[in-house]
Amino acid sequence: MTTEKEKMITGEAYFPNDKTLSEDRLLAQTLCYRFNQLEPRQVKAKKQIVKELFGKTEKMFYIEPPFRCDYGYNIEIGENFYANYNLTVLDCAPVRIGDNVMIAPNVSLFTAGHPIHHELRNTGLEYAVPITIGDNVWIGGNTVINPGVTIGENTVIGSGSVVTKDIPANVIAAGNPCRILRAITEEEKKYYYKQRRIK
């Protein structure tokens, strides 16, 4: 018999008020609470909580508190990961993040969704679709990434974006809904901001 947890992770409709899932969320909330209460100098303690909470981490990562997630075990982060204040991850489905990813403040990653029709939605059913973020991605502040989105490597997402569809590699994209603005080229290496040259 398929459990509600198995349904959740594999993208089937499921009931989140299941006992196992409720206990899993409570554990994640407890670990997030502990993480968010630590003093700034307690870097090792914060890293240890993240390692306990996440499904996969590498050696180098840093997350600024406060941080919140639903389960934690569905989150995988690559090497040299950095997230600024107020990252929220609804990780009902897997959230896979590559190496050298930078996330600005107030970013939300939502794998969770609800049925469109109110009668079905009112039963409590939910669904979840994975999010994938490639290597070397920079996500600007106040960005929302919706269920099922994949962001390609080396891409920059402008602040305030609502990402509803896949974004390919090597582009700058921004807006609501998020759209490709232009490709990133080798010419970018000459500048650190707009037309300000690196000397």
Q: Tell me the three state secondary structure of residue 125.
A: coil
> What is the pTM for the complete model shown?
0.96
pLDDT in tens, 87-135: 999 999 999 999 999 999 999 999 999 999 999 999 999 999 999 999 9
pLDDT in tens, 50-83: 999 999 999 999 999 999 999 999 999 999 999 9
Q: Does the domain formed by 4-197 have CATH 3.40.50.150?
A: no
Q: pLDDT value at position 199?
A: 76
Distance CA 181, CA 193 (A): 16
Task: Indicate the residue type of 50.
Answer: V
pLDDT band of 31, cuts 50, 70, 90: very high
Residue 196 scores a pLDDT above 90: no
Q: pLDDT value at position 59?
A: 96
Q: pLDDT value at position 50?
A: 98
Query: Which residue(s) pair with 132 in the sheet?
Result: 96, 150
Query: Which residue(s) pair with 75 in the sheet?
Result: 95
- State mean pLDDT over 27-54: 98
Q: Record the tokens describing residue 71, joined without a space.
A: 């389960």
Distance CA 15, CA 18 (A): 6
Which of the following is catalytic: 11, 114, 125, 141? 114
In the chain, the percentage of residues whose pLDDT exceeds 90 is 93
pLDDT band of 86, cuts 50, 70, 90: very high
Q: pLDDT value at position 184?
A: 96
Q: pLDDT value at position 198?
A: 82
Q: Is 114 one of the catalytic residues?
A: yes
- State mean pLDDT over 165-188: 97
Query: Which residue(s) pair with 179 in the sheet?
Result: 174
Burial class of 166 by CB neighbour count within 10 A (0 to 12, 13 to 18, 19+)? exposed
| Radius of gyration for the alpha carbons in the chain, expressed in angstroms and rounded | 18
